[in-house]
Amino acid sequence: MDQISNLVERVRNGDRIALSKLITRMEHEPEVRKEVIKKIYGCPVKGRIICFTGPPGVGKSTIIDHVISILTEGGKKVGVILVDPRSPYTGGSLLGDRIRMQRHATNQNVFIRSISCADNPEGISRSVKDILKVMGLSGMDYIIVETVGTGQIAVEVSYICHTTVLVLMPNMGDDIQMMKAGIIESADIYVINKSDLQGGDLTEAYLRDNIEPRGGWMPPIIKTIGYNRSTIVPLVEKIEEHLSRENPMYMEKIRGLLKTMFMDYLDDLAVHFLQENNGYEEFVSKVAKCECDYYTAVEELFKKFKKEVLCNDKGIDHVAIAVRDMDEAVKIWRDMGFDVEYEIVEEQKVKVGIIHMGDARIEILEPTEVDSPISKFLEKRGEGLHHLAVKVDDIEKEIEKLKEMGYRLIDERPRIGAGGKKIAFVHPKSAKILLELVEG
């Protein structure tokens, strides 16, 4: 078994050292993340994920410390991830968090781990989402995530959580307005910590004006004092209550999350494509020299990207239909709203009507002379499907391969077809239809 499969298997059996090792690798190696997620896709995941978010210093870690105690006293297993984007503003806050939770370090039912992505802050929410999935696999009953701050990362991480707790403190009216809008709207439970201090009413009033029931749940506002465990008990009860109910909003959140994950990965592929593709520099030079505007350049690049990355290189190039009367044949396509372009291929004595369909096209063939190959086809078979053309990577190789397998080819060597592309025909005796191979 390879190393990653081995680690995944051990994590599934509750091995904490394996979990720690796997998280470290996922944190630093995007390729490992991808491999792990592909492996564990579809595995049943038990843990419920609770996200604590809020500005630095409001008391999230102090509260989580008690939440861990309360949950583990009930015999549950708890995993904690502290997310540290290591911005200049929040750097170092994790050390304090670790110390605050240190007393749980020897408890076999508690797993605490901090994750930072100092070198790639944008990538952190991506790795956290994947790491949460792995924690869920390890048999934890609850997984607690603490995200520092209230920016985009917190919003994204909260998508994957079953219950999001936004922690605030007294006197925060103006600060709340500075937060990323999504975070206020997406919390399920609001905590006003440091209730031993004055000014809690101001924060509460602001929240009351801005919270609405969602999916049959009215998000509660709970006042706590981080040092005072008895004030945290009602919070844990509310968390349990929220976790236990059918939550129609959760599916919505997951859909939102999936959308961002798709976009993220697409983004990765696009960036990778640009880095690998020499054409990219060329496009930039063209725009810099004013040979092309940048909208057109990006559209061209996107076309290439679609062709080479998204659509892969195989597929239908075109379908050709032989007809006696071009105008009559193209009418239906025009009526359906397609544009038709025309081309005369002298050598074949044929007029071609071209209708683009995504990456493929339909070609309507009308003979221009009585001795055109298309005239002969019409005489023999009548109007209808003439041939099918498929894209191949390397036409010489494909021809060799088919010849070796005993198929009959009309062209044993490629010739140049429309658009200067290399083409070759396979005999209908072999393919049941006249089949054209087109390179590129």
Ligand X SMILES: Nc1nc2c(ncn2[C@@H]2O[C@H](COP(=O)(O)OP(=O)(O)O)[C@@H](O)[C@H]2O)c(=O)[nH]1
Which of 127, 193, 203, 372 is close enough to bind ligand X by CB under 6 A? Answer: 193
- In DSSP notation, 223-290 reads E--TT-HHHHHHHHHHHHHHHHS--HHHHHHHHHHHHHHHHHHHHHHHHHHHHH-THHHHHHHHHHTT
Q: Is residue 95 part of the contact set for ligand X (CB under 6 A)? A: no
Q: State the Cα–Cα distance between residues 285 and 294, nearest whole angstrom.
A: 10
Site for ligand X in 64-93 (CB under 6 A): 93
User: Is 167 or 392 the residue whose CB approaches Mg ion more closely?
Assistant: 167
Which of 26, 33, 50, 61 is close enough to bind ligand X by CB under 6 A? Answer: 61
Site for ligand X in 100-119 (CB under 6 A): 100
- Residue 77 and residue 141 in contact, taking contact as beta carbons nearer than 8 Å: yes
Q: State the Cα–Cα distance between residues 315 and 365, nearest whole angstrom.
A: 21
How far CA 254 is from CA of 44, 138, 332, 347, in Å, comes to 16, 21, 43, 58
58 contact, one of ligand X, Mg ion, none, CB 5-8 Å limit per kind: ligand X
Site for ligand X in 201-230 (CB under 6 A): 225-227
Q: Is residue 175 part of the contact set for ligand X (CB under 6 A)? A: no
Which of 53, 62, 125, 163 is close enough to bind ligand X by CB under 6 A? Answer: 62
User: Is 110 or 261 the residue whose CB approaches ligand X more closely?
Assistant: 110
Q: Is residue 56 part of the contact set for ligand X (CB under 6 A)? A: yes
Give the other-Cβ count within 10 Å of 406's Cβ: 7
User: Is 45 or 58 the residue whose CB approaches Mg ion more closely?
Assistant: 58
Q: Is residue 234 part of the contact set for ligand X (CB under 6 A)? A: no
Q: State the Cα–Cα distance between residues 205 and 193, nearest whole angstrom.
A: 15
Please choose, out of 51-59, 252-260, 263-271, 413-421, the segment that lies near ligand X by the rule CB under 6 A. 51-59
Indicate the pairing of strand 48-54 with strand 142-148: parallel
- Contacts to Mg ion by CB under 5 A: 60-61, 97
User: Is 195 or 372 the residue whose CB approaches ligand X more closely?
Assistant: 195
- The length of the chain in residues reads 440
Q: Is residue 196 part of the contact set for ligand X (CB under 6 A)? A: yes
Q: Is residue 147 part of the contact set for ligand X (CB under 6 A)? A: no
Q: State the Cα–Cα distance between residues 256 and 74, nearest whole angstrom.
A: 33
Binding stretches for ligand X (CB under 6 A) = 54, 56-62, 93, 96-97, 100, 193-194, 196-197, 225-227
